[in-house]
């Protein structure tokens, strides 16, 4: 898989300026400040946007509530601590299973980044030089699972290209012989 | 993957050959991983982080090798499962003074089928046991290479990686 997944996205599920068709009044999946109630959990694999479906609570909230849940104010709270999965809207899984070593690079022009989440912008900025998902996580100090989701968002929005590592599907994704030979040759030349 | 017991030199090994200073990524384990790890007795604590150090070697214009040190806590198998997919193989670093520390890693890779080599990291430049003795003690089959290394030295680490990739290649061709 060397191409960004889902080029023909029907789902308008980036967090950009709300411009969705048929969002109606509620637009329940605008970036929530606290991930409770509805869980916009995206099922694995390509398919119609889950966000167009009636919200069915597929999974429980990621972060159990310590206090009685109360409606979060729309604005920012004073609490400087953002729980890790808040910036993903509570999703714990990306739509695409990104390898930890999958390579990411930005294809976006600066003007395309306007209106994106700060985290998305930081990733795009970082990935002007090719970086792995692991490096994005480490360099931006965001947890690995969160980085995966944010990168998948950007790919969906067409703002980054992803190079998933090649692998032999018949061998459980293990590298094929050609790749091993190239790695061996490369190591010997070091 | 670079595996082994706590303090056996995984990050040192990664740092010796990496072109960047080893980076650290953290995975947050949440209630989504309930069933994998028991959090019921930790009260309010709903998340646990598991850290993983890694490095990078650019082998060619379009070929980058990443070296991931497995999380020190062996119980975080879900991270290992994540890493195994797409991995070339594993270096199991062993401190022969604490041989038992490597058992979980050896068991894991034997079960997962990922090619691995055992590298005896000589602390203070000492190798108190030779590979044959360790092979006997660990009950490792003759197909798995056991070598000595010094995780601090680039040449040693590089040679260990070459042994691993050769072994992985042989395993694929067999």
Q: Which has the closest alpha carbon to A162: A170, A173, A154?
A: A154
Instruction: Check CB contact of A157 with chain B, cutoff 8 Å.
Output: no
The pLDDT value recorded for residue B129 is 92
- With respect to residue A74, please indicate whether it lies within any of the assigned structural domains: yes
Checking if the pLDDT of B124 tops 60, the result is: yes
Q: Phi first, then psi: what are they for A103, rounded to 5°? A: -95, 145
More confident residue, A136 or B47: A136
The residue with greater pLDDT, B64 or A171, is B64
Read off the tokens for B22. 């080893």
Give me the number of domains chain A comprises. Answer: 1
- Our CA-based measurement puts residue B88 at a distance from the nearest CA of chain A, in whole angstroms, of 6
CA–CA min distance B6, chain A (Å): 21
B33-47, B65-79, B136-150 — which one is most confidently predicted on average?
B136-150
Q: What is the pLDDT of residue A19?
A: 41
The reply to whether A85 touches chain B by the CB within 8 Å rule is: yes
Check: CATH 3.40.50.300 for B2-173? yes
**How does DSSP classify residue B96?**
G
Instruction: Check CB contact under 8 Å for A135 and B23.
Output: yes
Nearest-by-Cβ selection for B28 from A130, A145, A177: A145
* C-alpha–C-alpha distance, residues B120 and B138, integer Å: 12
B76 touches chain A (CB under 8 A): no
**Euclidean distance between CA atoms B68 and B57, whole angstroms:** 11
Provide the pLDDT confidence category of residue B166 given band limits of 50, 70 and 90. very high
Domain extent at residue A109: 50-189
pLDDT digits (tens, 9 = 90+) for B22-45: 999 988 765 444 444 444 444 455
Q: Give the per-residue pLDDT at A165.
A: 80
Residue spans of chain A under pLDDT 50: 1-80
A66 domain residue, yes or no: yes
pLDDT at site A50 = 41
Each residue of A139-151: b (16+ CB within 10 Å) or e?
Answer: bbebbbbbbbbbb
Q: Does B100 have pLDDT greater than 70? A: yes
Residues constituting chain A:
190
Q: Which of B27, B71, B76 to mutate to test the interface with A (most CBs of A within 10 A)?
A: B27
Answer whether B63 touches A (CB < 8 Å). yes
Cβ contact (<8 Å) for B162 and A139?
no
Residue of A164, A100, A154 lying closest to B23 (CA atoms)? A100
User: Measured between alpha carbons, how far is A48 from B166 in angstroms, rounded to an integer?
Assistant: 44
Closest C-alpha to B57, from A173, A81, A124, A185: A185
- Alpha carbon distance A71, A77 (integer Å): 12
β-partners of residue B54 are B23, B68
B30 vs B131: CA distance, rounded Å: 41
Contacts of A69 (CB under 8 A, 6+ apart): A36, A37
Backbone dihedral angles phi then psi of residue B140, each to the nearest 5 degrees: -95, 135
Q: What pLDDT, in 10s, does the model give residues A29-52?
A: 444 444 344 344 444 444 444 444
To test the contact with chain B by mutation, choose from A131, A145, A172, A174 the residue with the greatest count of B C-beta atoms within 10 A, namely: A174
- Range with the largest mean pLDDT of A90-104, B43-57, B88-102: B88-102
% of chain B surpassing 90 pLDDT: 66
pLDDT at A162: 93
Share of chain A above pLDDT 70, in %: 45
């Amino acid at each position: 898989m060397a191409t960004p997944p889902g080029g023909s996205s029907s789902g308008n599920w980036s967090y950009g300026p709300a411009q969705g068709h048929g969002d109606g009044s509620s637009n329940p999946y605008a970036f929530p400040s606290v991930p409770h109630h509805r869980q916009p959990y995206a099922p694995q694999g390509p398919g119609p946007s889950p966000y167009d479906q009636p919200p069915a609570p597929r999974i429980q909230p990621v972060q159990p509530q310590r206090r009685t849940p109360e409606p979060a104010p729309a604005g920012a709270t004073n609490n400087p601590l953002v729980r890790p999965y808040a910036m993903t809207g509570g999703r714990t899984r990306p739509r695409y299973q990104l390898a930890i070593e999958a390579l990411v690079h930005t294809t976006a022009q600066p003007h395309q980044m306007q209106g994106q989440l700060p985290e998305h912008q930081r990733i795009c900025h970082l990935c002007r030089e090719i970086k792995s998902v692991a490096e994005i996580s480490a360099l931006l100090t965001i947890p690995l699972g969160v980085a995966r989701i944010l990168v998948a968002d950007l790919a969906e929005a067409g703002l980054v290209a992803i190079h998933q590592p090649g692998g032999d599907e018949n061998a459980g994704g293990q590298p094929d012989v050609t790749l091993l030979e190239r790695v061996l040759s490369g190591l010997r030349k070091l | 993957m670079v595996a082994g017991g706590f303090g056996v030199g995984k990050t040192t090994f990664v740092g010796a050959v990496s072109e960047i200073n080893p980076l650290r990524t953290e995975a947050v384990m949440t209630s989504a991983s309930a069933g994998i790890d028991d959090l019921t007795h930790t009260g309010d604590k709903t998340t646990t982080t598991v850290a993983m150090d890694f490095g990078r070697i650019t082998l060619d214009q379009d070929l980058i090798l990443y070296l991931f040190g497995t999380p020190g806590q062996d119980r975080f198998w879900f991270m290992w499962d994540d890493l195994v997919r797409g991995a070339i193989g594993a270096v199991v670093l062993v401190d022969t003074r604490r041989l038992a520390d490597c058992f979980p890693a050896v068991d894991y890779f034997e079960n997962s089928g990922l090619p691995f080599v055992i590298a005896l990291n000589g602390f203070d430049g000492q190798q108190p046991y030779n590979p044959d003795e360790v092979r006997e003690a660990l009950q490792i089959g003759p197909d798995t290479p056991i070598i000595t290394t010094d995780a601090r030295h680039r040449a040693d680490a590089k040679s260990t990686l070459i042994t691993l990739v050769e072994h992985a290649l042989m395993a694929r061709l067999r």
